[in-house]
Structure 1
Amino acid sequence: GSVARVQSRSGDIIASGIYCREHPLALRICSTQAPFHLDDDWLTGRLEAAIRLRQSLFQSNTTGWRLVAGEGDGVPGLIVDLYDDTAVMKLDGGAPEDFYQPQAIAQWLSHRLNLSVVVHRQRG
């Protein structure tokens, strides 16, 4: 998966996303707001927003929930479920598998949420 920019007819960039020609969902939109940079800061910001949202919804005694819901959280193709101190991460499709850095995401999640285990569920 590579980063693609979507332009209007007048040439203005109106969105950025992950592109993979071989996948039925060839373009997954990540951002419709400038500056359209899909980098570590962008991903961290999206993950932090997902954490804040879910923590506001669930009581502290809830031990299983979806932390990241892909497109719904602005990170297309990335799903993360939490089960107590374990996270299960799934990348849906070739573009997300190629674009995201699963090891780095797993390390970040582990550190940020004090997890014992982060499992990367591979496609297939």
Structure 2
Amino acid sequence: MGKLLKDKYEAVVSLNNFTKEIMKLPLKVEYTKINAMIGERQEYIEKIRDIDIKINEYIMNNGKFKESEEVKNLKIKIKILVAETIEMDKEIRKNVNDELKSVKASLNQPQSFSKLVNIKA
């Protein structure tokens, strides 16, 4: 169980660090790169889900077990990192939504200055 939790902790740390990288990129300039990274980020999430499945199987097969201090500490660290990652996700979504609103607003506004001159023949 300890090894599985260590693996999960390492996977969550990787996800957290990768999410931080995404947060650092400017959305307007690096949209394509951010979009690709968000897709790649899904692989980290899948890895964590696979480890969770193994942990659940271990618990089902071995029943209750006494948690060591190491296991308790890893669980606490994982919870903290997951909460931090969720907050970064919210910020990324907010930034993307704000950018979309900005683009929609600029597309829906008529041009106030026209460089064309209407000449009737």
More helix by share: 2
- Asked which structure has the greater RCO (Cα within 8 Å, sep 6+), the reply is 2
Q: Could you tell me the TM-score, scaled by structure 2's length?
A: 0.28
- In terms of fraction of residues, the more strand-rich structure is 1
Structure with greater Cα Rg? 2
